[in-house]
Structures are given as structure tokens and as C-alpha cells.
Chain A
Amino acid sequence: MILLDVLTIPKDDPIAFTFFTGYMAMLAASIFFFFERGRVAGKWKLSLLVSALITFIAAVHYYYMRDYYLATGENPTALRYIDWTLTVPLMCVEFYLLTKAAGAQVGLMWRLIAASVLMLVAGYIGEAFNPPGGDTGHSVMWGVISTVGYVYVLYTAWFGEVAKLAEASNSEVVKTGVRTLAWFVLVGWAIYPIGYMCMPGGWLNSALGWSSANVDLFYNIADAINKIGFGLVVYNIAITSTNQAETA
């Protein structure tokens, strides 16, 4: 008997609701990217595959996280961070793949991956090793360290190597696409700290009284926006570029 045979979604639980819709949306997005991969030009196929992998890995984790949440009512922190450890570096790979044609070096990809790993490891320590009842000093310290990684990715996407390479690509599609992805990093990724600050001891929790249950609500919303949205931007770049090449 699987958990879903005995557990139902409470009508007044938006977190459980977002776990289920998140799971289905990620799965649907994966299938979409896998199938659409056949319609784009060869140079975009790997990008589409990576987009599909990001949402597929997330879908599998969401499958486990929704059950975990329904069974225990607790935040599935470990599962969440395992998911991110795999998917966030893949998003950095997307940046590299998009700008590869303009001369991006593998070093760029590794630097972005290193920054994202710093962001995630610090976030995990901040969240998983938060003392019972919460410790503001602990959450602030690890939150700030995590932000350093985020700031590096943000800078690279807006001003650094990624932005410069996109500018040098001479492709309006790539320029617009990279700029849109940079917006995802600026706004979409900024939703995660809101969730982080809702945990016990976090300053949204202690100052505004936002419940720690909101952690998962914000994370689920952010995941849906960033993973599926990120993939759709990559898809849009790939399909537009392919169509332009065909009509030219």
C-alpha cells in the first residue's frame, strides 16, 4: 500500500496542494521538453535535454516530498536540498550552453557551479542545523554566506562573463534569452530567501510572525517558477532560433 492510499490532501492546506501541483507541473514540463527536443536544431538539443532533466529530477523529488509532507507534516529539508544540489548546477550549465556559441569556456560553467554549490551548502547548514526553536544568529550567518554565492551568479548573469558573451553573440534571440534568465535569477531566485527567513529564528518568522510552514509554500512556488520558467525560456530561445534558421 502506498502512502497516497491512506492520505488525503486537507482542503485547507495550500502547502500540500502546491506539492501535488508542483509534482504534476514538473512532470508535464519534462515530457514537454523531452518531446520538443526533436523539433529544435542540433545545437539546441543538449540545452533542451538539460531543461528536461532539471524538471524531471525535481518531479521525482516532489513525488517523495509530497508524501513525506503528508505523512509527517514536516519540511522535507534533506530531500529539498538533494533536489537543488542536482538541479541548480544544471541551471548554471544552461547559462554555459547558451553562451557557448559566443565563446564561453568550461571554466565559466565550473565557476557558476561552485557559486551555486556554496549557495546551497550554506543554505542547507543554515536550515538543517538550525537549533530547536530557531537561532536568528545561526540563520543570519549562513544566510549571508549563501547570499555571497547568489550574488556571484547574479553578477555574472547581469554584468559578468555571461552578459558579455550574450552581448557578443550577435544573436538577438540569445541576448533576450540570457537577459530573461538573468531576470529569473534576480526575481525568481530571490523568492527562496523569503522561504528561508520563515524558518524558526528567521527574521520573517520572528519579526512578522510568518509561520515556518510557509517555508515550503515559498519554496514550492519558487521551484515552479524557476525550473519550469527557466526551461521555457531556453525552449523559446531554441525554437525561435531554429525557426529563424529555417526561414533564412
Chain B
Amino acid sequence: MTKAIFVFICSCLLLTPIIYNAGEVSSSFQMICCLPFLLFLGIPHGAIDNVLYMRNNKVSNTKFIAVYLVFVGVNVVLWILIPGIAYLLFLLLSAYHFGQSQYTHYFARQQLPHQVFFLFWGVSVLSGMIYLNIEEIYQIMNSYEDFAVFSSLHQQDVMYWLFIVSTGLTVLSMFIFHIRKDLTLEAVFMEILILGLILLCFFLMPLMIGFTLYFVILHSFKVLREEYNYLNSENIVTSVKGFVKLVAPFTLLSIIGIAMLFGLIYLEIWSLSYGYMLLIVISSITLPHVYVMNGFYNFLFSKGFFKMSSRGQ
């Protein structure tokens, strides 16, 4: 069990009954509660993409940022022209990235079967999140006009089968990896338990709170830890304080940017819902981040980083 998993289990045990007991929580209240965690603990894990990318590629910081912004721009254009496709792309990339970050420390390499497995796991988690909160999602889509475009993508039957099939394939793949000696039996049981806990968390919690718990603790903390361990092993940072200093500039820049966009909506200069705007922003950050992290993990595998570090910790 990793410490992130331990923190997630404790948070679920302690928070779930309290939040469940609180009854129905409005989406705006959820956003107020979750936004600080997403901004201050979620964004930092992608705030040093430039540092990670430049360790493995000969490219200047300016060039990296320019290409990064082009990615963001293309994504925004996609959201304007074909929001349905942009949304699907965002979900698929996120699914892959979530699966990848969850499992990399178990494997000694990253080949196509592993990558397909990452996608299965991520689709299971995301389709589970949507299926188990389908009523709340319908409510949001009915309340905000800009979300209406996604209504055809959230049909209950489709989500149900996607969830069942992807979860089945995920569990089956775990046992295949066990037979191939990529995963120990203990790791298989632990990961089944974690998948079950994540889904239980989505079932019991309101949509955004459930997602924030998973995203911040299981995803962001784990990636931050891996980033810190790597940078520490390369003597780029020697303390947590140094690491915080490294992630701070782009984290703050992103938060200021989001605050400015919120301001535009508040002043009615931009007629979008806050949630929809946040979705576009997150997807725009996600697109280049997934690419950078995929390269970063490949780089770590090539250096045998996960073999050297304590696997599973």
C-alpha cells in the first residue's frame, strides 16, 4: 500500500459518513469546497511539466512554453468548434493518464499492453464516476445551457455497459499481468480494493467531492511524489521546500489565470457557466500534460527509476 492510498482510505472512512450525512449538496457549494483543493493541490502536479520535459529533451524553456500554449490554443479552438469531440478527447486522455500514474511504479517497462491497460483502468474510473452520478450530471446539464451539448454522450445505458466492460477488462488484465509476473498477487488485490474504494467513493459522494478526493489524493499526490523523488535523485531539488518553490510560479500563474477568467464571467464579459469554463481550462492543461508525463514515464523506465526506488511506495 502506498501512503497516498492510505490517505485516500482514511479520507474516505472519515469524510464519507460526514458528507453523506449532510444530505444533498448543491453543485455550487461543491465547487466552493473543492476548488481550493483542485487549484492548490491538483494544479501543482502539472506545474513543472517544463522542467520534466527539458530533462529528457534539448529544448529551451521559451520554446517549450510556446509549444505548450499552441497545444492549449488548439484545444480551446476544438472546444469552440466541436465541443463534443473535445470533451471525448479530454476524457480519453485523462483516462489514460490516470491509469498510467496509478500503475507505473509496479511495472519495469511500458509497452502497448500496459498502455491499453492504463486506458481500461481510467475508462473504468471515469465511466464509473459518470454512471454512479448520472442523476447529478443530468441535473447539471439541465441547469446550464452550455453543458446541453454533452447530453447525448451521457446516456445511462451506454455508461452502464462502458463501466461494466471496462471494469471487467481492467480486472482481467490485472490477473493477466500477474500471470506474466508484472504484478504480484498482493498488488492485484490491493488494486482491486482501491478500484472498489474509488467507485464506492463516487457512489456515496456528490460528483465533484468524490472526484476531488480521488484526483487530489490518489492522482496528484502520487505524481508529485514521483516528481519529487526523481528531481531529488538528480539533485535538482534537495528538500520539500525547494520543490514547493519549483512548482509555485506556474501554479500561481495558472490560479491567477483562472481567477481572471472567472472575473470575465462574473463581469458578464464572457457568457459561460463557471463549471464549463473550468472544464475547458482543465482540459487545456491536461492535453499537453498527458503528453509530457507520458514522455517522463518513458524516460523513468529507460533509466530503471522504478526498479531503483522502492516499488509500491
Distance of A187 from chain B, by nearest CB (Å): 7
Query: Which of A30-38, A43-51, A95-103, A139-147 faces chain B?
Result: A139-147
Q: Are A144 and B18 in contact (CB under 8 A)?
A: yes
> Assuming the A-B contacts A186-B1, A187-B193, are A203 and B6 also in contact, with contact meaning beta carbons closer than 8 angstroms in the complex?
no
CB proximity to A under 8 Å, residues B2-51: 3, 6, 9-10, 13-14, 17-18, 20-21
The chain B residue with its CB closest to the CB of A150 is B13
Minimal Cβ-Cβ distance residue in B for A176: B186
Chain B interface, DSSP helix/strand/loop, else mixed: helix
B14 touches A203 (CB 8 A): no
B153-196 vs A, Cβ < 8 Å mask (1 yes, 0 no): 00000000000000000000000000000000010010001000
CA distance A207 to B193 in the complex (A): 23
Partner among A147, A158, A186, A207 whose Cβ is within 8 Å of the Cβ of B14: A147
Q: Determine the chain B residues whose CB is within 8 A of the CB of A147 once the complex forms.
A: 13-14
Give min CB distance, B21 to chain A, whole Å. Answer: 5
* Complex contact B18–A158 (CB within 8 A): no
A203 engages B18 (CB within 8 Å): no
* Chain A residues within 8 Å of chain B by Cβ, number: 21
| Bound complex: CA A207 to CA B13 (Å) | 17
Interface string of A122-152 (1 = CB under 8 A from B): 0000000000000011001001100110110
Taking the closest CB of chain A, its distance from the CB of B185, in whole angstroms, is: 11
Q: How far is the CA of A144 from the CA of B13 in the complex (A)?
A: 8
Docked complex: A187-205 residues within 8 A CB-CB of B: 187, 193, 197, 203
| B6, B9, B14, B17: residue with the most chain A Cβ atoms closer than 10 Å | B17
Q: Does A68 contact B (CB under 8 A)?
A: no
Distance between A183 CB and nearest chain B CB, rounded to angstroms? 8
B10 engages A203 (CB within 8 Å): no
> Which chain A residues lie closer than 8 Å to B10 at the CB level?
151, 154
A155 touches B17 (CB 8 A): no
The residue from B3, B21, B186 contacting A137, defined by CB atoms under 8 A apart? B21
Residues of chain A with a CB closer than 8 A to B189's CB:
183
Contact B21 A154 (CB under 8 A): no
Q: Considering the complex, give the chain B residue whose CB is closest to the CB of A144.
A: B14
Measured CB to CB, the nearest residue on chain A to B22 is A140
- A202, closest chain B residue (CB): B17
Q: What's the Cα separation between A207 and B186 when bound, in Å?
A: 33
Q: Is the CB of A158 within 8 A of B6?
A: yes
Interface residues on B, range: 10 to 19
For chain B, residues 36 to 87, give those with C-beta under 8 angstroms from any C-beta of chain A. Answer: none
- Give the residues in chain B near A197, CB-CB below 8 Å: 17
A139-189, CB < 8 A from B? 140, 143-144, 147-148, 150-151, 154-155, 158-159, 179, 183, 186-187
Whole-angstrom CA separation of A203 from B21 in the bound complex: 8
**Considering the chains assembled together, what is the distance between the CA atoms of A187 and B14 in angstroms?**
16
Q: Which residue of A lies closest to B193 (CB)?
A: A187
Known: A151-B13, A154-B6. A136 touches B21 (CB 8 A): yes
Residues of A contacting B9 with CB < 8 Å?
154, 186
Given A147-B13, A147-B14, A151-B10, A159 and B21 contact (CB-CB distance below 8 Å) = no
Chain B residues whose CB sits within 8 angstroms of the CB of A187 once the complex forms: 193
Specify which of B3, B14, B17 is in contact with A159 (CB 8 Å cutoff). Answer: B3
Q: Which residues of B sit under 8 angstroms from A144, Cβ to Cβ?
A: 14, 17-18
Which chain B residue shows the least CB distance to A136? B21
Report yes or no: B17 in contact with A203, Cβ–Cβ below 8 A.
yes
Chain B residue at minimal CB-CB distance from A148: B14
Q: Flag if A140 contacts B21 (CB, 8 Å).
A: yes
| Distance to closest chain A CB from B182 (angstroms) | 20
What A residues does B14 contact at CB under 8 A?
Answer: 144, 147-148, 151
Shortest distance between the CB of B204 and any CB in chain A (Å): 9
What are 21 of the A-B contact pairs (CB < 8 Å)?
Answer: A136-B21, A143-B17, A144-B14, A144-B18, A147-B13, A148-B14, A150-B13, A151-B10, A151-B14, A154-B9, A155-B6, A158-B6, A179-B186, A183-B189, A186-B1, A186-B193, A187-B193, A193-B13, A197-B17, A203-B20, A207-B20
List residues of A whose CB falls within 8 A of some B CB: 136-137, 140, 143-144, 147-148, 150-151, 154-155, 158-159, 179, 183, 186-187, 193, 197, 203, 207
Additional 11 contacts, C-beta under 8 A, given A151-B13, A183-B186: A137-B21, A140-B21, A144-B17, A144-B18, A148-B14, A154-B9, A158-B6, A183-B189, A186-B1, A203-B21, A207-B20
- Leading 7 A-B pairs by shortest Cβ distance: A140-B17, A140-B21, A147-B13, A151-B10, A158-B1, A203-B20, A136-B21
